[in-house]
Chains A and B, each alone.
Chain A
Amino acid sequence: MAEVLVLVDHVDGACRKTTSELLTIARRLGEPSAVFVGAGVDAAKETLAAFGAEKVYRADAAALTDYLVVPQAELLAHLVATVSPAAVLLASSAEGKEIAARLAVKIGSGLITDAVDVQSDGAGGVMTTQTAFAGGYTVKATVTHGVPVVAVKPNSAAPEAVSGAAADVAVDFTPSALASGARISAVKPRERTGRPELTEAAIVVSGGRGTGGDFSKVEAFADSLGAAVGASRAAVDAGWYPHTSQVGQTGKQVSPQLYVACGISGAIQHRAGMQTSKTIVAINKDEEAPIFELVDFGVVGDLFAVLPQATGEVTARKG
């Protein structure tokens, strides 16, 4: 069976949830091989083996991690040339998509980004599902040329635990001179909030301009549900919440089981980032707010009254 390369999405060896999802998807197409770049492979091994990685290609050199994107794309191109995989899967994050795009040009392959599902097309290729126009359409596509390169969104598969050999394969690879073109000269890690990662969370509670800058009620409700906290661009532009928490066209695209919009009107650009959520709830003072067109459950009311009561109820019910 052909190998399927999965670029491991990790922070210092801590695998993001997408990695186990990608390995699960890879098994539908062939034999999963993880590609691990950077430090921390030992910490990651356990997860990689637990979700079926048969091999772990690892490369750890400053030449691969001190520069933006290109070295990783070159490494993958090198592996594609040596192992002729059935497909290459990456996380559809900003960085994952860029690595995918570079790789596709280098190896002359068709590229799919933002996939929400990947299946075998029954003929050795892939059949992907994407959403288009702010979630209004579903598009199924195949790759007709080269080794399919597919960037997959978080939460696109339920990770299935299956043990794999995770055989260690050190890759000796030196990137080209061109790869050092864009140098990462400083890294300022984000503050940890202790809440789940926005794009991976099963529940997201977001606040907008209607919070008036006071996110405490939004955060308390999120914490009662174990949810991530998001924000509209209006709230981010006002400086109330960090840009990394923005949901929407120019922020994060989330697709959780439950999305709760608090004091958010539901502009098309906001919808573009949350419309594919399974269940949608909104709290808004204005019964005409467009967000109510999307909801499974809506409360017309003041979030400063509704949220604390809901938080109390949730906490009580959880006992």
Chain B
Amino acid sequence: MNIVVCVKYVPDAQADRTFNASDNTTDRVNVDGLLSELDEYAVEEALKIVEAGEGEVTVLTVGPDQASDAIKKALQMGADKGVHVNDEAIHGSDALATSLVLAEAIKKIGMPDLVVTGMASTDGTMGVVPIMLAERLGVPAVTFASELTVSGSGVSARRDGDAASLTVEAGLPALVSVTDQINEPRYPSFKGIMAAKKKPVENWTLADLGIDSGAVGLANAWTKVEAVAARPPRAVGTIVKDEGDGGAKLAGFLAERKFI
């Protein structure tokens, strides 16, 4: 079974994340980045599937130079090869354009049996790239899988919805997005780190994919950020030490704020 895993390079959530003042895009250059933690679950799941049978795991990222770190981490975990789509023109792309680039890259790699993605990226957290990608590839999407079974011909997943827990089934090829409930991602071993250095990584531009630069990028996004403002810091609150009356004081606060 051949699998493509889409991984994203994101600013570290522990760092001070910010926007570029000039164009209101996420600053991915001046902030330390890493493989989106939620995509580690996708890499892990793909590796488990391939290890249980046979096949190859290709990791795919769309992003700036530093995004090669995300590929490197996935290769260290055990993926077989990487594809990095990197083009100035992609800067500032929205989910629609990102999904377009991913779809064309996957077609160029060769349609695999499964495309696996994270549930959402830790920076944008729109969580819509996977479903758009499936729409563009014309394959069924089994999203937010918290449990996954793969057979030769299809997938079956548990999806915990708001009102019910669903079992969703689809034939192959399919796209699956996985939640952080699905597995426990492995840490790269020393052997894995050494082996990753020899694994092939292809670097593609939009021209390699036959995508017109007018179809992507900030200027061609179908939504426009008009303004970005840091939320005013929260007013410093009152903190009391419980000296046997903490609960009563808390109730007093709630009454004062008219919650009771």
Residues on A close to B: CB < 8 A? 11, 68-70, 93-95, 97-98, 100-102, 104-106, 108-114, 127, 131-146, 178, 181-190, 197, 199, 203, 225, 243-244, 249-250, 257-258, 268-269, 272, 279-281, 283, 287, 292, 294-302, 305-314, 317-318
Contacts and interface: CB of A to CB of B under 8 A. Distances in A.
A198 B229 CA distance: 28
Interface stretch (B55-63, B125-133, B192-200, B203-211): B125-133
23 contacts: A97-B126, A111-B95, A114-B126, A132-B19, A138-B230, A142-B223, A144-B223, A178-B138, A181-B170, A183-B170, A185-B156, A189-B164, A190-B162, A225-B259, A249-B125, A250-B119, A272-B125, A296-B235, A297-B237, A299-B239, A305-B244, A306-B242, A313-B248
B235 A139 contact: no
A93 B162 contact: yes
Contacts of B131: 69, 98, 101-102
A301 B174 contact: no
A272 B180 CA distance: 15
A305 B247 contact: yes
Contacts of B19: 132, 137
A182 B247 contact: no
Contacts of B230: 136-138
B224 interface: yes
A306 B249 CA distance: 9
A306 B163 CA distance: 33
Contacts of B13: 134, 268-269
Main secondary structure of the interface of A (DSSP, over half): mixed
Nearest to B17: A133
A70 B96 CA distance: 17
B222 A111 contact: yes
B254 interface: yes
Contacts of B141: 68-70, 98, 181-182
B21 interface: no
B145 to A, nearest CB: 11
Interface string B164-205: 111111110010000111000000000000000000000000
Given A68-B142, A111-B223, A143-B223, A296 B255 contact: no
Contacts of B169: 182-183, 185
A97 B160 contact: no
Query: In the complex, which of the residues B135, B159, B166, B171 has the most CB atoms of chain A within 10 Å of its own CB atom?
Result: B135
A200 to B, nearest CB: 10
Interface residues of B, number: 83
Interface string B120-159: 1011011110011001101111111010000000001001
Main secondary structure of the interface of B (DSSP, over half): mixed
A11 B247 CA distance: 38
Interface of B: 13-14, 17-19, 24, 38, 94-96, 99, 119-120, 122-123, 125-128, 131-132, 135-136, 138-144, 146, 156, 159-171, 174, 179-181, 221-231, 234-235, 237-242, 244-255, 257, 259-260
A287 B246 CA distance: 14
A189 to B, nearest CB: 5
A298 B237 contact: yes
A181 B171 contact: yes
Nearest to B167: A186
A138 B227 CA distance: 8
B162 A300 contact: no
Contacts of A272: 125
A292 B136 contact: no
Contacts of B96: 104-105, 110-111
Given A298-B239, A299-B249, A299-B250, A185 B160 contact: no
A188 B161 CA distance: 10
Given A144-B223, A268-B13, A287-B239, A137 B228 contact: yes
Contact of B222 (A98, A145, A300): A145
A310 B222 contact: no
A83 B173 CA distance: 35
Contacts of B251: 309-310, 313-314, 317
A110 B167 CA distance: 31
A301 B241 contact: yes
A74 to B, nearest CB: 11
B246 A105 contact: no
Given A101-B132, A105-B135, 20 more contacts: A68-B143, A94-B161, A97-B127, A97-B128, A105-B96, A105-B136, A131-B231, A133-B17, A138-B228, A141-B223, A141-B224, A182-B140, A182-B141, A186-B167, A189-B164, A281-B253, A294-B234, A297-B239, A310-B247, A317-B260
A94 B226 CA distance: 26
A299 B128 contact: no
A52 B18 CA distance: 40
A73 to B, nearest CB: 8
B222 A297 contact: no
Contact of A309 (B227, B247, B260): B247
Nearest to A102: B135
A299 B223 contact: no
A137 B231 contact: yes
